[in-house]
A and B are shown apart, each in its own frame.
Chain A
Amino acid sequence: MKRSPETVDSQRSPTAQAPFPAIKVENIVKRYGTFEAVKGVNFEVAEGEIFGLLGPNGAGKSTLIRMMTTLIPVTSGRAIVGGHDVVKEPNEVRNMIGVIPQALTSDQDLTVEENLSIYAKLYSVPRVQREKNIAEVLEAVDLTKWRGAQTKTLSGGMRRRLEIARGLVHDPRIFFLDEPTTGLDPVSRIAVWEMLNNLKKRRNLTMLITTHYMEEADRLCDRIAIVDHGSLVALGTPIELKQSVPGSNVVEVQFNREDDGWKSRLMALTDVTDVQSQSAGVYRVLTSNGSRTTTQLVELAAGLGEELTSLSVQNTSLDDVFVHYTGRQLRDEQVKSVFMMPPRPGAQP
Chain B
Amino acid sequence: MNRMFAIVEREMRKFFRSPVLMIMSMMLPIVQLIILGHALGGHVTGAHIAVVDEDQGPQAVKVKEAFQAVAVNIATFTTIPYADELSAREDVRTGKVDAAVIIPPQFSRRVYSSNAPRLALVVDNTDQITSGAIEGEMASLVQALNQPVIQDRVIKKVALEIVEIYPYVEYMKYLLAGSIALAMYISVMIGGGMLYIDDKARGVHEGYLVTPISKLELVMGLNIAGAIKAVLSGICLTVIGSLMAGLGVIFHPEALFNLFLLILGTSIAFNGMMFLMMVRVDDPLVPRAMFGVLNTLLFFPSGAISPIGQFPKWLQYLAIVDPFTYAIHGFKSILLKDGGFVSIQTDLAFLFIFGFGTLLIATPLFKRTL
Q: Which of A113-121, A246-254, A285-293, A337-345 contacts B (4 or more CB under 8 A)?
A: A113-121
Q: At the interface, yes or no: A72 with Cβ under 8 Å from chain B?
A: yes
A237 to B209, CA, bound (A): 32
Contacts of A91 in B (CB 8 A): 212
Q: At the interface, yes or no: A181 with Cβ under 8 Å from chain B?
A: no
B202 contacts A103, CB within 8 Å?
yes
Q: At the interface, yes or no: B321 with Cβ under 8 Å from chain A?
A: no
Minimum distance in angstroms from A116 CB to a CB of chain B: 12
Q: Give the contacting residue for A109; candidates B5, B6, B17, B370; CB below 8 A.
A: B17
Contacts of B9 in A (CB 8 A): 118, 121
A69 to B18, CA, bound (A): 33
Minimum distance in angstroms from A211 CB to a CB of chain B: 18
Q: At the interface, yes or no: A24 with Cβ under 8 Å from chain B?
A: no
Contacts of A72 in B (CB 8 A): 369-370
A-B contact number at CB 8 A: 68
Chain B residue nearest to A106 in the complex (CB) = B207
Interface residues of A in 21-73 (CB under 8 A from B): 66, 69-73
Q: At the interface, yes or no: B14 with Cβ under 8 Å from chain A?
A: yes
Contacts of B10 in A (CB 8 A): 107, 110, 118
B206 contacts A119, CB within 8 Å?
no
A42 to B239, CA, bound (A): 64
Minimum distance in angstroms from A91 CB to a CB of chain B: 5
B3 contacts A101, CB within 8 Å?
no
Q: At the interface, yes or no: A7 with Cβ under 8 Å from chain B?
A: no
Minimum distance in angstroms from B265 CB to a CB of chain A: 29
A70 to B18, CA, bound (A): 33
Q: Knowing A73-B369, A118-B9, say if A105 contacts B203 (CB, 8 Å).
A: yes
Q: At the interface, yes or no: B296 with Cβ under 8 Å from chain A?
A: no
A66 contacts B212, CB within 8 Å?
no
A99 contacts B13, CB within 8 Å?
no
Q: At the interface, yes or no: B232 with Cβ under 8 Å from chain A?
A: no
Q: Give the contacting residue for B207; candidates A101, A121, A124; CB below 8 A.
A: A101
Contacts of B208 in A (CB 8 A): 122
A110 contacts B13, CB within 8 Å?
yes
Contacts of B212 in A (CB 8 A): 91, 94-95, 122-124
Contacts of A102 in B (CB 8 A): 203
Q: At the interface, yes or no: A224 with Cβ under 8 Å from chain B?
A: no
A72 to B210, CA, bound (A): 10
Q: At the interface, yes or no: A97 with Cβ under 8 Å from chain B?
A: yes
Q: Give the contacting residue for A71; candidates B2, B13, B209; CB below 8 A.
A: B209
A133 to B206, CA, bound (A): 22
Contacts of A114 in B (CB 8 A): 13
- B13, B204, B370 — which one has the most chain A CB atoms within 10 A of its CB? B13
B3 contacts A122, CB within 8 Å?
yes
Minimum distance in angstroms from B320 CB to a CB of chain A: 40
Complex interface bits, A127-170 against B, C-beta within 8 A gives 1, otherwise 0 = 00000000000000000000000000000000000000010000
A119 to B212, CA, bound (A): 11
Q: At the interface, yes or no: B143 with Cβ under 8 Å from chain A?
A: no
A105 contacts B213, CB within 8 Å?
no
A109 contacts B13, CB within 8 Å?
yes
Q: Give the contacting residue for A101; candidates B7, B13, B203, B213; CB below 8 A.
A: B203
Q: At the interface, yes or no: B140 with Cβ under 8 Å from chain A?
A: no
Contacts of B206 in A (CB 8 A): 71, 101, 103, 105
Q: At the interface, yes or no: B211 with Cβ under 8 Å from chain A?
A: yes
A99 contacts B210, CB within 8 Å?
yes
B6 contacts A118, CB within 8 Å?
yes
Minimum distance in angstroms from A51 CB to a CB of chain B: 18
B2 contacts A124, CB within 8 Å?
yes
Q: Knowing A109-B13, A114-B13, say if A70 contacts B210 (CB, 8 Å).
A: yes
Q: Knowing A109-B18, A121-B9, A124-B3, say if A94 contacts B211 (CB, 8 Å).
A: yes
Minimum distance in angstroms from A102 CB to a CB of chain B: 8
Q: Knowing A91-B212, A94-B212, say if A119 contacts B207 (CB, 8 Å).
A: yes
B13 contacts A97, CB within 8 Å?
no
Contacts of B204 in A (CB 8 A): 105, 107
B210 contacts A123, CB within 8 Å?
no
Minimum distance in angstroms from A334 CB to a CB of chain B: 21
A95 to B211, CA, bound (A): 7
Minimum distance in angstroms from B202 CB to a CB of chain A: 6
A91 to B207, CA, bound (A): 14
Chain B residue nearest to A103 in the complex (CB) = B203
Minimum distance in angstroms from A315 CB to a CB of chain B: 38
A121 contacts B210, CB within 8 Å?
no
B210 contacts A69, CB within 8 Å?
yes
Complex interface bits, B178-208 against A, C-beta within 8 A gives 1, otherwise 0 = 0000000000000000000000001110111
B369 contacts A71, CB within 8 Å?
yes
Chain B residue nearest to A95 in the complex (CB) = B212
Contacts of A99 in B (CB 8 A): 207, 210
A70 to B207, CA, bound (A): 12
Chain B residue nearest to A121 in the complex (CB) = B6
A119 contacts B211, CB within 8 Å?
yes
Minimum distance in angstroms from A220 CB to a CB of chain B: 22
Chain B residue nearest to A125 in the complex (CB) = B2
Q: Give the contacting residue for B370; candidates A71, A97, A118; CB below 8 A.
A: A71
Minimum distance in angstroms from B2 CB to a CB of chain A: 6
Q: Knowing A71-B206, A103-B203, A105-B204, say if A121 contacts B370 (CB, 8 Å).
A: no
A72 to B209, CA, bound (A): 10
Minimum distance in angstroms from A290 CB to a CB of chain B: 45
Contacts of B13 in A (CB 8 A): 109-110, 114
5 CB contacts below 8 A, A to B, read A71-B210, A95-B212, A105-B206, A110-B10, A123-B211
Q: Please name 20 further chain A to chain B contacts, defined as beta carbons within 8 Å, in addition to the given A109-B18, A122-B213, sorted by A numbering.
A: A69-B210, A70-B209, A71-B209, A73-B369, A94-B211, A94-B212, A95-B212, A97-B210, A99-B210, A105-B204, A105-B206, A105-B207, A110-B17, A119-B207, A122-B7, A122-B208, A122-B211, A124-B2, A124-B3, A166-B207
Interface residues of A (CB under 8 A from B): 66, 69-73, 91, 94-95, 97, 99, 101-103, 105, 107, 109-110, 114, 118-119, 121-124, 166
When A and B form their complex, which 4 residue pairs have the shortest distance between CB atoms, in order from nearest?
A: A121-B6, A103-B203, A122-B211, A99-B210
